[in-house]
Structure 1
Amino acid sequence: MAAFARRKAQRLARADGSRKGRLDERAAPVLRLLNARDPFCTASSCSGRLVLLQGGAANINSSEIQKKNCTWLMVTHEMCNKDDVMAALEKATGDVVLKFEPFVLHVQCQEMQDAQLLHSVAVDSGFRNSGITVGRGGKIMMAVRSTHCLEVPLSHKGKLMVSEEYIEFLIHVANQKMEENIGRIDRFYRSLESALQTAAGANDLHSEGMERSRSVYVRRRKRKTVHRQSVCPSPKDQHEELEPEDDIENSLDIFADIMI
């Protein structure tokens, strides 16, 4: 537990390595909720986005965002309109695809039961492609994912291959997916908050029960000690050999102490 807490502190102290340099506003409440709990440490996330991605003959001197030999002609975490897409397509010199990528979150968990709780909440909230992986070193990672993606090619070598009417239709579909994505994030946050509160309450009851059992154990031990002192044999009796009945009773008394 101490090792996990140390790794969590180190990870959360790092600077944000994303190009944006900060959390997506829509995903931030979920991340803060998880990181405020000891068993969880968020690793990476995206609230969902619409992207025009160009590969192939991209201009390496362009000021546009570069990623793995590709150019992001447009990226937004909100709904978009036809004019924005058409303006971005005018910059195309290679093959361009329109992509919708839904919310994704990776969380390192302290114990398997923590990952299972998170997985159950994610699936119930609509993120049915979620899963748990365990690394060789025992690191438990929970990924929150869904399958309502979209990826459609629009141009080839800078030439638009579809009509503007079709692009307008695709934007409508993509915006519907973004709207559904936002709803799933909201459901996930509410369900996660409730599940974490329930789990915390169960842990409190377990701790209270353990403390109550310990108190009962201590009281019983004290009563046994007082009883033994009150029936302590005389010096003469101490030198006498135990009768068989006394030996059995004493052995059972010791066994009872162990089982309590």
Structure 2
Amino acid sequence: MDRSAEFGRWKAQSLSKADLSRKGSVDEDAVEVVELLNSREEFFTTSSCAGRILLLDGSTDGSGVQKQHCCWLLVTHEPCAKDDVMTALKGATRDAVLKFEPFILHVQCRTLQDAQTLHSVAVDSGFRNSGITVGKRGKIMLAVRSTHGLEVPLTHKGKLMVTEEYVEFLLTTANQKMEENKKRIGRFYNCLQHVVKRETISNSHSKIKEKNNPLCTHKNKRSPKKALDPSTADDGGRELDGGHGLEISATLFLGDD
């Protein structure tokens, strides 16, 4: 099957599925980014979270291993107040943990070059932990993410182990991280808009040039001389659109689709 057609089929299937997240819809701060990516033929999003503050009870088994079945005492995508956390902590019976989870977005990309271009946008916007994976079936996924999270245990067997003053300090830190997270999402969206606009104009000019000049050849058609010269190869080390003139490198991991 043609790779472009197969990508289109994957995109149609993914976007037609129901949202299985707890909220059941895209977070407000991530809507513009998600809609812009899904409007492009070279991308579609598979999951996203704009960033949130969580209070989970029984989130670990004591050894730091995440447990599947835990109680959500509080979740918010907005700045959080100490009184809200202290009220929620009254429902804790196990080991409650306060967490801030930053923006994360998973995007399937049509080609590796598309993924590299988007990876550059993500890194330039502050999401420096972003990475690309290539599945066994050729699915190319980009995870947009950063490292400025927060995770602090507050109770043990339902007993509060810290002072209210410390809880207030943690929330000040978490709220600051939330504000910085929103700024990074804004930078990502603005940068993405510029890249999309530039590539649209570039593609348009390229088509006009080819139509008006029958001698114009596609980039992937090289002369025999260039084909024999490895120093002129198109693959690897090529500057990518949206890379601001810089080479883009990304570690690739072979994973399951």
> Does the CA contact (< 8 Å) of 2:59 and 2:97 recur in 1?
no
Which digits, 9 at most, give the CA deviation of each residue in 1:31-67, with x for residues without a partner? 0000000000100000000000111799xxxxxxxx8
**Could you tell me which residue of structure 2 aligns to residue 177 of structure 1?**
177
Using the size of structure 2 for normalisation, the TM-score is 0.78
> Does the CA contact (< 8 Å) of 1:103 and 1:146 recur in 2?
yes
> Does the CA contact (< 8 Å) of 1:57 and 1:157 recur in 2?
no
**Could you tell me which residue of structure 1 aligns to residue 77 of structure 2?**
77
Return 5+ residue gaps in structure 2 as ranges: 62-66, 218-257
> Does the CA contact (< 8 Å) of 2:209 and 2:216 recur in 1?
no
Which has the larger share of helix?
Answer: 1
What are the equivalent positions in structure 2 for 1:52-67 lying under 5 Å apart? Answer: 52-55=55-58
Matched residue type, 2:12: A
Which of structures 1 and 2 has the bigger CA Rg? 1
What are the equivalent positions in structure 2 for 1:87-102 lying under 5 Å apart? Answer: 87-102=87-102
Matched residue type, 1:36: S
**Could you tell me which residue of structure 2 aligns to residue 17 of structure 1?**
20
> Does the CA contact (< 8 Å) of 1:57 and 1:94 recur in 2?
no
> Does the CA contact (< 8 Å) of 1:53 and 1:96 recur in 2?
yes
User: How far does residue 216 in structure 1 lie from its aligned partner after superposition?
Assistant: 8.0
Runs of 4+ in 1 over 6 A off after TM superposition: none
1:2 aligns with 2:5: yes
> Does the CA contact (< 8 Å) of 1:40 and 1:108 recur in 2?
yes
Matched residue type, 1:31: V
Partner Cα separation in structure 2 for residue 94 and residue 150 of structure 1:
19
User: How far does residue 206 in structure 1 lie from its aligned partner after superposition?
Assistant: 2.0
Q: 1:9 to 1:49 in 2, by over 3 A?
A: same
Q: Aligned-residue CA RMSD in angstroms?
A: 1.8
Instruction: Provide the secondary structure at the position in 2 that maps to 1:15.
Output: coil
Partner Cα separation in structure 1 for residue 24 and residue 205 of structure 2:
41
Which deviates more from structure 2 when the two are superposed, residues 10-19 or residues 153-162?
10-19
Return 5+ residue gaps in structure 1 as ranges: 59-66, 218-260
**Could you tell me which residue of structure 1 aligns to residue 145 of structure 2?**
145
User: How far does residue 215 in structure 1 lie from its aligned partner after superposition?
Assistant: 7.3
Partner Cα separation in structure 1 for residue 60 and residue 90 of structure 2:
14
**Could you tell me which residue of structure 2 aligns to residue 197 of structure 1?**
197
Instruction: Provide the secondary structure at the position in 1 that maps to 2:213.
Output: helix
Instruction: Provide the secondary structure at the position in 1 that maps to 2:75.
Output: strand
Partner Cα separation in structure 1 for residue 208 and residue 13 of structure 2:
32
Which digits, 9 at most, give the CA deviation of each residue in 1:92-143, with x for residues without a partner? 0000110000000000000111111110010000000001111111100011
Within the candidate set 45, 67, 80, 2:48 is matched to 45
Q: 1:123 to 1:57 in 2, by over 3 A?
A: closer
Count of residue pairs the alignment pairs up: 209
Matched residue type, 1:108: Q
Q: 1:37 to 1:57 in 2, by over 3 A?
A: closer
Structure with more relative contact order (C-alpha pairs < 8 Å, separation 6 or more): 2
